Structure 1
């Protein structure tokens, strides 16, 4: 056997059409703990449970015979200690000098508690079906459907968890962690492709007063509505996130200094003119600081420039827009 195949990063076995093992690589032996002479000329099913033998007969052989190959079959094999190890198996049939052989590649699966719980349940049902011959086919089909459904549910759950891990629950905007990762990507994009972008930091004016006088529920309502305004105001390629407390950040790709000032002032005006409801007498305003990325900037310096510009807007009376390159502010 070729040395590269002998130590390939997956297990390899070759079996006859009857299932007798004729070859295996060292990787497979290392994964299972067997010596080569313990497996040569042994039937592959000798290291399977009855449930897996049933799966092998009902899925592997029909597909090999019909299509000549099997893709992504979930199967468990016993190692030398008798422990059942899950694998993904791909197999392909071919003839060599008139002799038919089946080559199989096996990748060991990582153990996941929820998946194993479903698998144990599946094995139990398969074993029960094995002893109830008249119901085997119907129960096996149902079981395959359930496993497919569980896998689809797991993928959907993973997608939901990823989305939740990057989303601020109250406002529906992206959270600080997502913003920081995206900011790093835009900085790399500038250095690799010269793609310009601007950063806005927005702070709700007198927000502490809203919480202190009207209560935290009113404050939460303001934050939630601010999230809606920012989402509505943003282009598809823009990133709006809650930075923390009453501070929000926006990344504006392909926006230069003058464009960023106009966009920020339109946003500031939209916030000031929004209907905040009877619970918020006098409405809400916001102050904005802007920094447009320069070649010498990094994440820290860009944030510092935008934050200093925001401080200038606050110092000059709030409800203003200030760019780090321009000390002047746009009043309401």
Structure 2
């Protein structure tokens, strides 16, 4: 275009456009290559085209060269500044991501029990409240089980709290393995656990709970000399207008019935509008 219009002043400035386009990539290498090519083209145009030399004074020629060099310096400064801005934004994004991860970790820690990784007492109460409200409004099937490891105090007394912690972890592992993905398992306190069964009828929840009880009773614990532990549990089916506190109290009452009737068993009731 420049060679075809040698008499058109200022057309050489179009050589700045490829350099300007390289700013999109914020790449010094691309800008430098573009500058060298454009600078070379300007030299070629002047020395290889008689028409260009005839219509261009030496002052104009050197002015064009100077503008090309000045444009390169300005664009280079723009790229460096853009790189600084991107670096700042990247660091800010990384800090925000780190903060988000920390917040998620803290949120998880605030919701879970440190030893077992299960939901803690507070989270269980909030979750149970939500499920009870939903069940009351939509008549969804809901069961609550309260479990307790039998004679757990004797384990701590005879083998130490470290052995007791290991036994707790083993028991929790079995409970989680026998629970469905939509069940909510929480450590209610000490050696006591709570399970909210959802999307099950009463028989299915009872079968799942019995399977846990049997698997735990068969599990050997090397921390206590290869001995076994058992659990007692109470299971309550939800029915309309039953409050959260009453719901839990009934399941807890059945737990104590299981304890008083010999332990290693599940006590429950099929009354109160039992869902088939």
The two structures have a TM-score, normalised by structure 1, of 0.56
Q: Give the alignment of 1:284-303 within 5 angstroms.
A: 284-303=229-248
RMSD between superposed Cα atoms in Å? 1.9
Q: Deviations over 1:6-45 (max 9, x none)?
A: xxxxxxxxxxxxxxxxxxxxxxxxxxxxxxxxxxxxxxxx
Deviation at 1:269, TM superposition (A): 0.1
Runs of 4+ in 1 over 6 A off after TM superposition: none
Aligned to 1:139: 84
Distance (Å, rounded) in 1 between the aligned partners of 2:139 and 2:126 = 19
Structure 1 partner of 2:102: 157
Counterpart for residue 307 of structure 1: 252
Q: Judging by fraction of residues, say which structure has more strand.
A: 1
| In structure 1, C-alpha distance between the alignment counterparts of 2:158 and 2:123, rounded to whole Å | 32
Alignment partner for residue 322 of structure 1, among 261, 267, 272?
267
1:166 CA drift (Å): 0.7
5 Å matches for 1:232-271? 232-271=177-216
- Residue matched to 2:14: none
Unaligned stretches of 5+ residues in structure 2: 1-23, 25-76, 272-276
C-alpha contact (below 8 Å) 2:220/2:227 kept by paired residues:
no
Pairs within 5 Å for 1:153-232: 153-232=98-177
| 3-state SS in 2 of match to 1:185 | helix
Q: Does structure 1 conserve the Cα–Cα contact (< 8 Å) formed by 2:150 and 2:231?
A: yes
What is the 5 A alignment of 1:106-117? none
Instruction: Give the paired residue count.
Output: 196
2:224 pairs with 1:279: yes
CA distance in 1, matches of 2:183, 2:89: 43
Per-residue deviation at 1:191? 1.6
Q: TM-score, normalised by structure 2?
A: 0.67
Give 1:260 shift: 2.3
More helix by share: 2
Q: In structure 1, what is the Cα distance between the partners aligned to 2:141 and 2:83?
A: 61
Match of 2:52 in 1: none
Where relative contact order (Cα < 8 A, 6+ residues apart) is larger, the structure is: 2
